[in-house]
Amino acid sequence: MARTSLSGFPEWLPAQRIVEQAVLDVIAETFELHGYASVATRAVEPLTELLRKGETSKEVYVLSRLQADPSDPAAESDADRLGLHFDLTVPFARYVLENAGHLAFPFKRYQIQPVWRGERPQDGRFREFVQADIDVVGDGTLPFHYEVEVPIVAARALGALRELGLPPVRVLVNNRKVAEGFYRSIGLDRPEEVLRIVDKLAKVGPARVAGMLADEVGASSDQAEACLALASLSGGVEVVERVRSLAAEHRVVLDDDPAAELLEDGLAELGELLRQAEDRAPGVVTADLSVARGLDYYTGSVYETVLLGHENLGSICSGGRYDSLASDGRRTFPGVGISIGVSRVLSRLFSAGLVEATRAVPTAVLVAVADEATRPASDAVADALRDRGIAADVAPSAAKFGKQIRVADRRGIPYVWFLSTQDDGAVRHEVKDIRSGEQVEADPATWEPPAQDRRPRAVPTPG
Which residues belong to the annotated binding site for L-histidine? 87-89, 117, 131, 135, 293, 297-298
- In the complex with a copy of itself, the residue whose CB is nearer, 199 or 393, is 393
Nearer to a copy of itself, 157 or 247 (CB): 157
- Beta-carbon contacts of 425 under 8 Å, excluding residues fewer than 6 positions away, are none
Residue 298 Cβ vs a copy of itself, minimum distance, rounded to whole Å = 21
Residue 38: Cβ-neighbour burial (10 angstroms; 0-12, 13-18, 19+): exposed
Whole-angstrom Cα distance, residue 56 to residue 47?
A: 11
CA–CA separation, 454 vs 392, rounded Å? Answer: 10
Q: Cα torsion at 221, 222, 228, 229 (round to 10°)? A: 150
- For residues 242 and 432, what is the distance between their CA atoms, to the nearest angstrom? 65
DSSP 400-449: -HHHHHHHHHHHT--EEEEEEE-TTSPEEEEEEETTT--EEE--TTT---
Q: Hey, what amino acid is at 88?
A: L
Cβ distance to a copy of itself smaller for residue 98 or 222: 98
Q: Residue 457 Cβ, how far from a copy of itself at the closest point, in Å? A: 13
Q: What is residue 336's three-state secondary structure?
A: strand
Look at residue 171 and give its three-state secondary structure: strand
Q: For the CB of residue 232, give the shortest distance to a copy of itself in the complex, in Å.
A: 31
Contacts of 426 (CB under 8 A, 6+ apart): none
Nearer to a copy of itself, 106 or 167 (CB): 106
196 or 454: whose CB is closer to a copy of itself? Answer: 454
Cβ 307 vs Cβ 316: under 8 Å: yes
User: Which residue lies nearer to a copy of itself by CB, 305 or 378?
Assistant: 378
Provide the minimum distance between the beta carbon of 131 and a copy of itself in the complex, in angstroms, as a whole number. Answer: 14
Whichever of 20 and 269 has its CB closer to a copy of itself, that residue is 20
Backbone angles phi, psi at 369, to 5 degrees: -120, 120
Hey, is 89 helix, strand or coil?
A: helix
The CB-of-383 to a copy of itself minimum distance in angstroms stands at 7
Residue 205, C-beta contacts closer than 8 angstroms, at least 6 positions apart: none
Instruction: Let me know: does 142 contact 106? Beta carbons within 8 Å.
Output: yes
Q: Which is nearer to a copy of itself, 201 or 391 (CB)?
A: 391
CB of 62 to a copy of itself, least distance (A): 5
User: Smallest distance from the beta carbon of 200 to a copy of itself, in angstroms?
Assistant: 23
Please report how close the Cβ of residue 227 comes to a copy of itself at its closest, in angstroms.
34
Q: Which of 396, 463, 456, 405 shows the shortest CA–CA distance to 15?
A: 456
